[in-house]
Structures are given as C-alpha cells and as structure tokens.
Chain A
C-alpha cells in the first residue's frame, strides 16, 4: 500500500492527479473527466513550457486509480539524482543553442521540457534563462574567447549527442523504478517518457533544419 501518507505537500509541487486521493479510499469515480491544465504554466520564470499536450481531455478511457499525492522529492535520493540528470540536460541544450543559434527555437522548446522536469522535481529551483542566440548580444555565460571561437560541431553531431543523452536519461528513469514509489515513480516515469520521445523525434524534427 502507498506510503505517501507522511509526505508533505509543497505548494508548487502538487500532483493534483484529479481526485488527489493519496489515501485511495473513496475516489473510485471522481475522475471521469480530467480537468486539463497546462503543466507548469506560470511556475517557470526562466522559460515557459509548451502546453501543447494539455488540450481538451479526449481520453477514451479514464484510469480508475489515482496516483497519490505529492512526492517529497527534495528528500528523495532518487529524485535528487534525476534532478541532477535534468540539470545536465539543460546545460547540454544551453551548449547546443550557443553552438547553433539557428536551432535555438526548436532546441529551446525541448530545453523547456527539461526545465519543467526540474521544477517538478525541485519546486524551489530558479534557473537561469536559456542563452540568447544573438550574434551581438552578450551571453549569460562566461564569455568565450574573443578572437576566434572554437569551431562548433556540425548540427547533425550536436543532435546526435543530444539524442544519446536523452536516450540515456530515459533509461535512467526506468532504473529509477527500482527505488521510487507511488506518485514520485509516476512522475519519474513520465519524465522518462518525455525523454524517450525527445530521443525519438529530435533528429527527425530538427535534422532538416
């Protein structure tokens, strides 16, 4: 049975999960219509995560079980490790955007997903903005050597590297299932699903640009 009864609810981190029934009892029917809410709107000052998924609820079958309430992610070592992984991914996208400003829009959207993951795992987090791909603007990072910056790897190489990172992250989230339980497990599995989807679509979505 779920052990989440002792978990704290954090204001910015609530797995609403519709009937939000951590204690399971008495919520068998309450979630036939899920109230769609764009994930993480307004909660991420750095980037605004795309809300493309949160369209009208059109599920053919509504799950009858309700994942329990908010995981105390900050206290959980599995969540901490996942947050470290997400932070590395954000940094990798920052590097890629700096190297290929032409991909900034598309890569920035993917980066925003990882920022949303980080926020879900650590609601207190404040991240810096994505690098601004402007040839004249000053980046928000330590400046690169002025004279001749090192040659950037080709876009295809960058995308392949990012795809590999996403694949590894998705596999790591599967590994998290050994230790994470309850709604934290569901959250980590969902994050892994996003990363698997990134891995599957990065090249096809961006390779032509």
Chain B
C-alpha cells in the first residue's frame, strides 16, 4: 500500500525535523534577543513536527531510523548573520524534505505536508529577509 518512495521521504523528513531541532538549539544562542523569540517558536514547531511525522510513519507502517544521527550544521555559527543563514538553510532543507513527501503521498498527507512546507518557507524567508521563489525545490527545478 505505502510506496517505498513515501517511506523513504517520511524517514528523510523525520531526520530533517530532528536536524532542525538540533540546529535551532545551537544557532538560536547566537541570535539577537528579539530573534530568539522567533527561534524559540520555530524550535517548538519543529519539535512538534517530529511527533507528527512519527505518526505519519506509523500510518505508513514504517518506523524511523533507530540510529541516532550525528547532526552537522550546514555552516559554522560564528555570529548573528551566520546563525540566520544556518537557520534559513535548515528551513530550506526541511521544506525540501516535505516536497519529497508531497511528491509521493496521497491527498490528505499531501495537504498536511504542503502546510508544513509553507511554514518552513515562511521561516526561511524570515531568516533570509527574502522569500524564495521555489522553497523546497531550490536547485532542483530546471527551468
């Protein structure tokens, strides 16, 4: 019933959300005080989303990778602007993971994942000070 493609996408999305939780916990410390509030909300959202994806995986009769991955930040967090760049990158990675879920999912899961993609895109735009034209598909559209 559940396609292997969807299971792989869900597992990747779970990893992306866990990486986001880690990334916010590290990069958040470098932010200005006003941005820290935004980051705290985003951190909570990503944590909640890890649970949501665990449910999706259960519905797909799959389980996340039991190995605890070692997360790496996409770039060093040396100052405020580096922290914002890292968080923008993390959000783009999260959006990309949801794009893959959407491509493989059925209608109801597509909608939920699309909403998650939108939220990631909004957060990425906040950190980047600019909306991306194709969040989640950056570098993957040949136009």
Contacts and interface: CB of A to CB of B under 8 A. Distances in A.
The size class of the interface chain A forms with chain B is 35 or more
Contacts, number: 234
Interface stretch (B28-36, B51-59, B108-116): B108-116
A43 B143 contact: yes
B50 interface: no
B49 to A, nearest CB: 14
A155 interface: no
Contact of B143 (A1, A12, A18, A24): A12
Interface string A145-187: 0000000000000000000000000100110011111110111
B13 to A, nearest CB: 7
B83 interface: no
A126 interface: no
Contacts of A14: 141-143
- Highest count of chain B CB atoms <10 Å: which of A35, A41, A189: A189
B3 A1 contact: yes
The size class of the interface chain B forms with chain A is 35 or more
Contact of B74 (A44, A59, A63, A170): A59
A197 B89 contact: no
A98 interface: no
- Judged by DSSP, the binding face of A is loop
28 contacts: A18-B140, A24-B4, A37-B139, A53-B138, A58-B89, A59-B89, A60-B19, A60-B73, A61-B16, A63-B96, A63-B97, A64-B11, A65-B104, A67-B102, A67-B103, A112-B133, A116-B133, A116-B143, A173-B114, A177-B107, A186-B103, A193-B95, A193-B118, A193-B122, A193-B135, A194-B133, A197-B131, A200-B125
Interface of B: 3-6, 8-9, 11-13, 15-16, 19-20, 23, 69, 71-75, 86, 89-90, 92-93, 95-104, 107, 110-111, 113-115, 117-122, 124-126, 128-143
Given A39-B134, A63-B16, A185-B103, 16 more contacts: A12-B143, A14-B143, A40-B141, A40-B143, A44-B143, A53-B138, A64-B8, A64-B9, A64-B11, A65-B12, A68-B103, A170-B118, A177-B110, A190-B117, A193-B135, A197-B135
Interface of A: 1-2, 12-18, 24, 28, 34-37, 39-41, 43-44, 49-50, 52-54, 57-68, 109-110, 112-113, 116-117, 119-120, 123, 170, 173-174, 177-183, 185-194, 196-198, 200-201, 205
